[in-house]
């Protein structure tokens, strides 16, 4: 059964959502990150994906107090990303309680550094964040596209133990128009040893059920929850069904 991983994007300690990563197209929600994680825990969710958008812009984590509060709850594991571009940042997120840490731009720009981290900290902690546009990796808040594909990155790190990849199709992110299904099914079939997380475009439980039927293993859901396209009750029922 596919694992549903709700997403929380944070700016100044508050829940927000961006459309296609554009800070100018931001929606702020009333619920606090702490309240949302508590609600997800009640649904049976076991992992929550949290992005420090302030940290992503500053190239270092800036919402670590929020991370500490989330990690202190008796609830889901916290998968944390945003601004992890140095070993000091990686350690600070780990020490603040992140169970999994997403590394994106640093892995694409400095693959030897990410390889060293994989060796030192392990594949259970480290998640490769691969944001894709027109088949190429995009970095620095999706402002720059590199001449590197997600296959190139995966091939680079697979022999070093890489086991978790979050792939975000930028054209779908925050648009509620469905995920790039063909991309994910191709990647999961090509690299069966890696757990790929679908990210971007989830608009309904039907999207999730289709991904599950196709054998995909993890899916991040963000805006669809905040916009009431997917209810917490529906998530809870899906999780119970797969238990």
Q: Which residues, 6+ apart, have CB-to-CB distance to 174 below 8 Å?
A: 17, 18, 19, 20, 21, 25, 200, 222, 223
Residue 50 neighbours by CB under 8 Å, 6+ apart: 7, 8, 9, 10, 33, 67, 70, 78, 79, 80, 81
Q: Classify 110 as helix, strand or coil.
A: coil
Q: What region does 54 belong to: left with phi over 0, alpha with psi -120 to 50, or beta?
A: alpha
Cα 56 from Cα 52, distance rounded (Å): 6
Q: How far is CA 217 from the centre of its chain?
A: 13
pTM metric for this prediction: 0.94
Token pair of 23 as six digits: 């800070």
Structure confidence at residue 9 (pLDDT): 93
Give residue-wise pLDDT tens across range 37-63: 999 999 999 999 999 999 998 999 999
For 76-99, write each residue's pLDDT tens digit.
Answer: 999 999 999 999 999 999 999 999
CA distance 119 to 116: 5
Residue 74: half-sphere exposure toward Cβ, Cα within 13 Å: 0
The domain limits of the chain are 3-242
Q: What is the pLDDT, as a whole number, of residue 18? A: 74
Contact by Cβ (8 Å): 81, 50: yes
Q: 128 near 86, Cβ under 8 Å?
A: no
Q: pLDDT over 70 for what percent of the chain?
A: 98
Query: How far apart, in whole angstroms, are the C-alpha atoms of residue 83 and residue 105?
Result: 9
Write the DSSP assignment of 150-211 as a string of letters. HHHHHHHHGGGT--EEEEEETTTTTS-S---HHHHHHHHHH-TTSEEEEES---SHHHHHHH
The predicted pLDDT at position 154 comes to: 97
Q: Which CATH class is domain 3-242?
A: alpha beta
Residues with active-site annotation: 9, 131
């Amino acid at each position: 059964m596919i694992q549903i991983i709700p997403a929380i994007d944070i700016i100044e300690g508050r829940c927000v959502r961006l459309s296609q990563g554009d800070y100018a197209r931001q929606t702020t929600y009333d619920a606090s990150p702490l309240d949302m994680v508590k609600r997800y825990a009640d649904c049976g969710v076991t992992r929550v994906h949290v992005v420090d958008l302030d940290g992503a812009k500053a190239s270092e984590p800036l919402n670590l107090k929020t991370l500490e509060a989330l990690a202190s709850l008796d609830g889901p594991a916290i998968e944390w990303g945003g601004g992890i571009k140095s070993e000091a940042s990686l350690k600070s997120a780990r020490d603040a309680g992140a169970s999994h840490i997403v590394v994106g731009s640093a892995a694409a720009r400095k693959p030897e550094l990410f390889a060293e981290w994989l060796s030192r900290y392990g594949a259970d902690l480290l998640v490769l964040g691969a944001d894709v546009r027109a088949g190429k990796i995009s970095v620095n808040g999706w402002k720059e596209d590199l001449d590197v594909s997600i296959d190139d990155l995966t091939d680079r790190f697979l022999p070093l133990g890489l086991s978790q990849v979050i792939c975000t199709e930028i054209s779908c992110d925050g648009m509620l128009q469905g995920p790039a299904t063909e991309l994910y099914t191709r990647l999961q079939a090509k690299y069966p040893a890696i757990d790929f997380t679908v990210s971007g475009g989830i608009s309904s439980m039907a999207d999730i059920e289709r991904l599950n039927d196709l054998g995909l293993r993890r899916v991040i859901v963000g805006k669809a929850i905040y916009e009431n396209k997917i209810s917490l009750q529906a998530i809870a029922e899906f999780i119970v069904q797969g238990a």
